[in-house]
Structures are given as C-alpha cells and as structure tokens.
Chains A and B, each alone.
Chain A
C-alpha cells in the first residue's frame, strides 16, 4: 500500500512535539476519514508520550564546576607543553651535538692512526729494497770519484780546444 503523504506529515510532526489544539482537531478529522489508521495512531501517541516522559539522567550538581576545572587543567597542561617545547630546544639539541662531536672525533682519530700505520709500512718497504749497509761502505769515495771524472772531462775538452788553436 502506498504511504499517505498526509499521514506521513502528521507522523513526522508527532515525532518532534505534541500537537496544539488546532492540529488535534485537524488530526481527529483526518482520522474520522481514515478509521483504519486509528489504532496505529493511538500507539504512536502513546509511544510519543512514553518517550517524552522518560526521566532525565541524574545530573551531578557540580558538573559545570568540574568541566571548568578540567578545562583549566587542560589549559595549564597545554601551556606547560608549549613552554617546554619553546625553551627546552637546547635540551634536545645538546645530546645530539655531543654525539655528533664524539663520532667526528673518533673518525678523525681512526683516520690519523690509519695514515700513521700506512706511513710506517711504506718506510719499512723502502728499507727492504735498499742495499745492505756493507754495500754502502765506499759510497762517499765513489761519489767523489764520479765528481773527479766530470772535472777531467772538462780538462780534456779544454785541452782539445787548445790543440785546435795551435794547429
């Protein structure tokens, strides 16, 4: 059966509020024309009355005061959080800087040790390829000898030039 739009309109009204006198008269007239809807309408009216008369949940007398206390507590807590985040940045930053400094310091120390070890290793390798100290015993004399050879060559050159001039 198609729902009656007038019936629906009345129902939506009775869900919200009690009818006033003129609305009651109109409804009675409508029900006189639609007797089949009377029983359901009586149940609707009884249910509306039952829901309207349901008692309110007990309300503590200090409810509003407690809300204001809670709000004040929240407000103080938020202030504390914002203050600590504004002034306490160095508390957060300082340990990080310290850790970063320690890491860099350890890195430099390790690098320095590694470089020193490499240098020592290179020196040892060089010592290994050098001739034995006995072989270098006449080093100074040989060095001087090679210098003298260079002087004799000059002298020979000059001698050759003189000979050429005299010819």
Chain B
C-alpha cells in the first residue's frame, strides 16, 4: 500500500477485503455531501435519498474492481453525478413517474427517520429562510453542469482538477462553468445580496 494513499482510498481497500465497518465509515463521512448534491439536482428529498442509497450500493458492488488510481471522493461524486444524470434522463422520458422503491414503507419499518430539530422561527430566521429559498431557486435554475460544478466547489476536499475529473471536462472549462454560475447567481440575487443579510447572519 503506498504511503501517501488517500485515507478514504485506504478505507475502500478494506471494503474490497469485505470490511463492512470500513464501508459504514465511508457512508457516514460522505452521506451528507452526496445527498446534498442529489437533492439540489433532483429537487425531491425522497428521490435524493433513494439515489444516495443507490450511490453507496454501487460503491460497495464496485469495491472488488476498485483501484486507488484517483481520490475516492472523485470516484464517489462521479458515480453520484452519473446516477443523477440517469435520473434526469429517466424523468425526461417518463415525466410523471418516480423512482421505484425496492421495499414498501410500513409503520413498523419507516424508510426515513428525519430528526425533528424543533427550530423556532423569529423574524430574522424568517428573513433568512426567505433568502435561502431565493438562493435555492436560483441554483435550481442553473444548467446542470454549472450547478454541479458550483456545488462540488463547496466540497473543500475536492480540488479544481478533481471537480474537472467528476464533470469530465478540462480544468479551464470547469473554472469557466463556476465563473458563469456565480455571475448568473450574482445577477439574479443582486437585490438580496445587497441587503448584506448573509454577512449579518454568519
């Protein structure tokens, strides 16, 4: 095993040997960024969860063939993006449908258990919520490749080169996608950004 091996790739090599604990560790580490990407691409929480589940099942199934030639996160986000694109294509073919559920949801074994954080809504939070909604809507209106580039850019562990590898384009094209996405967002959110609310709510 090389000394400078990416720690996630090292975990993945353990998964390759059949180590389920290592796999659970990887799922715990990456579930939030994967579900964020899926949710902001598909705009449906249930479908985003199903897709994120599929991403990790694919990772496990491909473990036997895994070679640590690239960073694990690059490989993972490439799988996630490809599944998102497949789902977008499937929706275009069958506009009314939804993802097939492999198991039925019952009262005894609910598929989702989302924590109730019980957040109160004072006026400042209402304003914040409204601003967040505007940003989410502006993000949703971006072309898929610009949005994905921008969202992956938030992942500190991914370099620009790795984002380019996930998107399957050159480094300069990736930076151009991010630049165009930000310019569009700045133009669309100009009245809200000028309020300075984001800086205050930090």
Partner-B contacts on A (CB < 8 A): 11-12, 15-17, 43-47, 49-64, 66-68, 70-71, 73-74
Contact = CB atoms under 8 A, between A and B. Distances in A.
Given A58-B114, A59-B32, A70 B186 contact: no
Contacts of A53: 132, 198, 201-202
Interface stretch (B3-11, B21-29, B86-94): B21-29
Given A16-B156, A64-B28, A74-B60, A49 B202 contact: yes
Contact of A71 (B60, B131, B182): B60
Interface in B113-141: 113-115, 131-132, 135-136
B128 to A, nearest CB: 8
B6 to A, nearest CB: 19
B12 to A, nearest CB: 14
Contacts, number: 109
B165 interface: no
A15 B183 CA distance: 12
A59 B190 CA distance: 31
Contacts of A47: 182, 185-186, 189, 193
Given A44-B182, A50-B198, A64 B24 contact: yes
Nearest to A17: B156
B98 interface: no
Interface string B165-202: 00000000001001100100110011011101011011
Interface stretch (B51-59, B67-75, B76-84): B51-59
Given A46-B193, A49-B199, A70-B57, A59 B31 contact: yes
Contacts of A59: 31-32, 35, 114
Nearest to A46: B193
B39 interface: yes
SS of A interface (majority)? helix
Interface residues of B, number: 52
B99 interface: no
B85 interface: no
Nearest to B112: A60
Given A12-B175, A50-B189, A54-B135, A63 B115 contact: no
Contacts of A64: 24, 27-28, 31
Given A47-B185, A74-B57, 19 more contacts: A11-B179, A12-B175, A16-B153, A16-B156, A46-B193, A46-B198, A47-B189, A50-B131, A50-B193, A53-B201, A54-B132, A54-B136, A57-B45, A60-B114, A61-B114, A64-B27, A67-B56, A68-B20, A68-B23
B201 A15 contact: no
A46 B199 contact: yes
In order of increasing CB-CB distance, the 7 nearest A-B pairs are A57-B39, A49-B198, A46-B193, A60-B112, A67-B56, A50-B198, A61-B113
B190 A43 contact: yes
A63 B202 contact: no
27 contacts: A45-B199, A46-B194, A47-B182, A47-B185, A49-B198, A50-B131, A50-B192, A51-B150, A53-B198, A53-B202, A57-B36, A57-B40, A58-B45, A59-B31, A60-B111, A60-B113, A61-B113, A61-B115, A62-B113, A63-B27, A68-B20, A68-B24, A70-B53, A70-B57, A71-B20, A74-B60, A74-B61
